[in-house]
Amino acid sequence: MIQVKPNIAAMSPYSPPWSNMERKGYLRLDLNEYTQDPPEHVITALKAYIDENRIQMYPEYSRFLSKLSLYAGVNEDHLIVTNGSDQAIEIILRAFLGYGDAMVIAQPGFPIFEQVAGVIGAKICGVSYDQNLSGFPYNEFVKAINPETKLIVIINPDNPTGVAVSLSQIQKILDENPDIPVIVDEAYFEYTGITSLDFLETHPNLIITRTFSKAFAMAGLRLGYIIAHPDIISQFYKIRGPFDVNNCATLVAETQMDFPDAWKGYVHEVMNVSKPRLERFFDENDVRYYPGAAQFMLVQPQDRDGAVQYLKDHGILVRPMVAELIRHTFRMNIGTLEQTEQFIEVYKAFIEA
């Protein structure tokens, strides 16, 4: 029997729950997606793409990159577009890590980092959050960085814990490790408004990843990007395939950047109306939760599995966590106020049942 590399054989597959299920009819709070239908201008742009008869052509990215450059506030040579930020992560890890090299990351973190490191055969130096998820474990994290470290990963804010890292701590890590690449994953940037971008000019070891999957309602189209020093970006172009990102995705992203009111209005409602409403509900009903910095949170019911199943039976998907530290929680993302009221009604019935 043929064998894959031993480090791959030793891994478990990354398979989100419900991933092989039709999720369409549910209120989907399980994958941190945009929770509404995409706005009308997105559908119009997709139809125009088909009408322009472009599917048979390989993609090209010039117009998109110039718009992205304006949106992100950096020159185009600081950008590379990727097939979701999953691919951004894969490209960066492949560029910097070899077999046995060490990557420092706070745990639990976004699982793709560990999946790709596992495929490469890199060593994961995990630094655990504390049980109360009270903050980024800065002291332990910097202690874990040593001469073997070839890559530092900061997820800001972290998924699944929601914990944010202060910009001053990120700056110190960048300052103190000028020869080690530091990824700052900003998948939730549109929800937090917080970015490390200002450090880029002074810290060429900084590499930022972002995505169009969350606030831009594009998870199914797979579009992300990397912001870094041009010398590093040009290396990444050697790893990414020339046509890895489809033109349908870049076209929709362009229209989303052209019509910011729709997604900004959604983000405002989620963060400033819906999230406080949900927190109030949990507070009033003595439900333990970890609010986090972005549009998702961990919830810790007495009977976690019962809660997840009850919600599912009543049309709402949330994500039971598997990492040891948070095994007693589920993660849910927050949608519109109407969707939050729907969640509250069902959860209330679960508590009272």
Ligand X SMILES: Cc1ncc(COP(=O)(O)O)c(C=O)c1O
Residues that bind ligand X (CB under 6 A): 32, 84-86, 110, 155, 159, 185, 187, 211, 213, 219, 224
User: In 10 A of CB 323, how many CB atoms?
Assistant: 15
Distance CA 164, CA 192 (A): 9
Query: Could you tell me the smallest distance in angstroms from the CB atom of residue 93 to ligand X?
Result: 13
257 neighbors 225 (Cβ within 8 angstroms): no
Give me the least distance between CB of 158 and ligand X, in Å please: 7
Residue 282's CB: how many other CB atoms inside 10 A? 17
What is the smallest separation between the CB atom of 105 and ligand X, expressed in angstroms?
11
Q: How far is the CB of 306 from ligand X (least distance, A)?
A: 26
CB of 184 to ligand X, least distance (A): 10
Nearer to ligand X, 182 or 310 (CB): 182
CB of 65 to ligand X, least distance (A): 17
Q: Of 124 and 219, which CB lies nearer to ligand X in the complex structure?
A: 219
Which residues partner with 126 through β-bridges? 105
Q: Which is nearer to ligand X, 86 or 190 (CB)?
A: 86
Question: Looking at beta carbons only, is 82 or 310 nearer to ligand X?
Answer: 82
Measured from the CB atom, is 27 or 249 closer to ligand X?
Answer: 249
Complex with ligand X: residue 45 or 215, whichever CB lies closer:
215
